[in-house]
Amino acid sequence: MTTVSELQNAAADKICARFPQVGRQEFRGDINLTVQADDLLDVMRYAKESCGFDMLLCVSSVDNLGQDPRFEVNYYMTQAETGANMLVRCPVPESDPTVPSMVPIWRSANWLEREQYDLMGIQFAGHPDLRRIMMWEGYPYHPLRKDFPIYGKESETVGLAFTEVAPTCGGPFTTRPGATASEREPRSRG
């Protein structure tokens, strides 16, 4: 009987043999592939059609503020029947935060990519409906970037719930500096 780990390794070997420019890392049994944006669509289509990764579970991104490339888009896919998983990472420069959309391969990428566009500012070329999913249209910022202040930014859009800085400083659920967890815990303030 073939184990999930063996299936993951076989799939990674197959992808790396077909695309030698793909980087491969293993950590504690997990396999991570690093793919450049120019190769991403071809690699992901091959992973689905030839390696059996039939489900895209998650699209996320990382802001490596101060590093180049600044962003990284992560795709977590699985073989539904076997349970084999793979993480594909794609470095994205701040100067052009664009990667191809995975919607033509997995329809589940639609809202996942919209979320990354809205909150991190990653562009997905070829997406059928790339618009904000949480923030309102016209909002000029991307709130999950590391340079976005935790207290928010003033909005110039009239008629919304908040048009001033979000009231989080000193709120009941805001932690504060302290030496121990009990000093930082908001509920310890009485």
pLDDT of 137 reads 82
pLDDT at 168 over 70: no
Domain ranges of the chain: 4-135, 149-190
Each residue of 52-103: pLDDT tens digit?
A: 999 999 999 999 999 999 999 999 999 999 999 999 999 999 999 999 999 9
For residues 6, 8, 13, 14, the Cα torsion angle rounded to the nearest 10 degrees is: 110
pTM of the shown model = 0.80
For residues 60, 99, 77, 80, the Cα torsion angle rounded to the nearest 10 degrees is: 120
pLDDT of 105 reads 97
Model confidence at 138, in pLDDT bands (50, 70, 90)?
A: confident
CATH number of the domain at 4-135, please?
3.30.460.80
pLDDT at 3 over 80: yes
